[in-house]
Structure 1
Amino acid sequence: MLQLQIKSDSTNIETDQNLVKAAIASEVKNLKRALAKTEHIIQEFETKYQISSDYFLDNWTAEDLENGDDEYITWFGELQMKTKLLESLEKLEGIEYVT
């Protein structure tokens, strides 16, 4: 868990805290949007080739794909992106604000 304490010289600390919370909430929204796009692309590959991404990673090479290296790199990259997006979301959504 990540604990976030916001200190400010401002007379209205609540406004400053809300600003930081809103910025983090906006980033969470952007990450969720990016995750949905990534998951859509992954689903298109899984549907096209009728295999799971796990099977793809464990058993397939670029030669197994219709468009070779381009598709392999794209599919593999989207899977890595999904992992990174999920990690970032988990961290940001797990923030505990302390006073």
Structure 2
Amino acid sequence: MIPVIQDAIAARIKRTEIGFQKTEKEIQKFEKQYHISSDDFLTAYTSDDLSGGDEDYISWMGEIKLREALLEEIKALREIEYVC
């Protein structure tokens, strides 16, 4: 039974990592477009500061939040211990 669970968790980790990579690419697009890091965006920018306005602000912020959630999920999945 444990190998089945381990395989399922490994598959979930892989899918989550793929999602993380996609999110990271989207974040990099925003960073390149606006020539700032996401950290600077979080601390100093509003939708008025972006040429794409609310749409870019919400999308970028959403990608950052998604990245955080995916990292937490990957961390939690990797910390699972199997007891026989």
Cα pair 2:2 2:82 within 8 Å, conserved? no
For 1:66, the equivalent position in structure 2 comes to: 51
Q: Which has the higher contact order (CA 8 A, sep 6+)?
A: 1
1:49-97 CA-partner distances (Å, limit 9, x unpaired): 1101010011111011111000000000000001000000001011111
For 1:30, the equivalent position in structure 2 comes to: 15
Residue 34 of structure 2, aligned match among 49, 61, 65: 49
Higher helix share: 2
Tell me which structure has the larger Cα radius of gyration. Answer: 1
In structure 2, the residue corresponding to 1:98 is in which secondary structure? coil
For 1:8, the equivalent position in structure 2 comes to: none
User: What is the TM-score when the length of structure 1 is the normalising length?
Assistant: 0.82
- What is the number of equivalent residue pairs in this alignment? 84
For 2:79, the equivalent position in structure 1 comes to: 94
Cα pair 2:50 2:57 within 8 Å, conserved? yes
1:9-54 CA-partner distances (Å, limit 9, x unpaired): xxxxxxx211111111110000000000000000110011110101
User: What is the TM-score when the length of structure 2 is the normalising length?
Assistant: 0.96
Identity %: 43
Cα distance in 2 between the residues matched to 1:63 and 1:25: 42
Kindly provide the amino acid, as one letter, of the partner of residue 94 in structure 1.
Answer: E
Kindly provide the amino acid, as one letter, of the partner of residue 9 in structure 2.
Answer: I
Give structure 1 stretches of 5+ with no counterpart: 1-15
Superposition misfits of 4+ residues, deviation over 3 angstroms: none
